């Protein structure tokens, strides 16, 4: 009996190895988004590095509201230039644009196109692309950038000149928050006039969100009631210019 037991243990299949991080992330992505059919098969068939880079890009699309059908289209037409760019590819960009492009998981093709712009143009894009909410409605940034380079006034299109600009102080204040604001909240903040945006930036720096369950609702409610901007005193007025002494006779 003991011999039979040992024999059975010797021939038993070893426990399955745990899935690798890229594979696990891929499977979780497929399960959570509903991607199916040929697109799911293609994603599973890619090399682990390519899987990870494509999933990074797709996660940005999901955050922008892409549906399963949108994602499947992106997957089916993606080649090795349409995965999130590698560190060596990002190195071709101006240092100001590099971290922004990485955070947005811009593709190899998009990064190469952006690298052809001069440094000042890339700096402008770095600031603009970092604005909260600016690109939230674009489900395929690679396509957006490719279309911009296929038309005249490429930089104007990339900068989304038709959309209002957010005050630099408010951009920095939002990026400095320990919480994330909802898209609808950011959209309303962008619509504020410039002086109000600057005052709001100063007010946000005074807030402690640890006991606030819904930071976005809290901010919008505070703006509506006037209590949020009331937290900061108006900046001191500039002293009047000194009178010019009359010329000596």
Q: Please spell the DSSP secondary structure of 25-39, one letter per residue.
A: HHHHHHHHH---HHH
The pLDDT of residue 158: 93
Query: Which CA distances in Å does 182 have to 63, 126, 138, 219?
Result: 11, 22, 16, 11
The pLDDT of residue 237: 52
The pLDDT of residue 39: 94
Joined tokens for residue 7: 């024999």
**Helices and strands, number each (H, E), in the chain:** 15, 0
Q: Say whether 134 sits in a helix, a strand or coil.
A: coil
The pLDDT of residue 19: 56
The pLDDT of residue 6: 46
Rg (CA), the chain: 26
Distance CA 174, CA 131 (A): 9
- Alpha carbon 99 to chain centroid, angstroms: 11
**What is the signed CA dihedral for 217, 220, 226, 229, rounded to 10 degrees?**
100
The pLDDT of residue 8: 46
The pLDDT of residue 210: 87
Distance CA 111, CA 150 (A): 15
Residue corresponding to tokens 């900068």: 159
| 111 contacts 101 by C-beta, under 8 angstroms | yes
pLDDT digit string (tens) for the chain, length 249 residues: 545 554 544 555 555 445 567 788 889 999 999 999 999 999 999 999 999 999 999 999 998 889 999 999 999 999 989 999 999 999 999 999 999 999 999 999 999 999 999 999 999 999 899 888 888 888 999 999 999 999 989 999 999 887 878 898 999 999 899 898 988 899 899 889 999 999 999 999 888 888 899 999 999 999 998 888 887 755 555 555 555 455 554
């Amino acid at each position: 009996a003991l011999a039979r037991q040992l024999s059975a243990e010797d021939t038993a299949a070893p426990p399955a190895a745990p899935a690798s991080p890229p594979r696990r992330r891929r499977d979780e992505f497929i399960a959570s988004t509903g991607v199916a059919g040929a697109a799911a098969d293609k994603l599973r068939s890619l090399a682990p590095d390519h899987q990870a880079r494509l999933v990074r890009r797709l996660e940005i699309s999901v955050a922008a509201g892409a549906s399963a059908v949108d994602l499947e289209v992106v997957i089916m037409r993606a080649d090795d230039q349409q995965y999130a760019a590698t560190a060596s590819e990002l190195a071709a960009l101006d240092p100001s644009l590099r971290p922004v492009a990485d955070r947005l998981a811009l593709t190899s093709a998009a990064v190469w196109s952006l690298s052809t712009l001069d440094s000042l143009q890339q700096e402008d894009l770095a600031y603009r692309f970092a604005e909260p909410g600016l690109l939230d409605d674009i489900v395929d940034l690679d396509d957006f950038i490719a279309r911009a380079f296929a038309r005249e006034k490429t930089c104007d299109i990339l900068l989304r000149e038709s959309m209002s600009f957010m005050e630099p102080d408010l951009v920095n204040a939002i990026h400095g928050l320990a919480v994330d604001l909802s898209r609808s909240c950011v959209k309303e903040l962008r619509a504020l006039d410039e002086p109000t945006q600057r005052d709001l930036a100063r007010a946000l720096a005074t807030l402690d969100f640890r006991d606030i369950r819904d930071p976005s609702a809290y901010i919008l409610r505070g703006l509506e009631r006037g209590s949020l901007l009331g937290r900061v005193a108006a900046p001191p007025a500039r002293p009047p210019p000194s009178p010019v002494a009359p010329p000596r006779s």
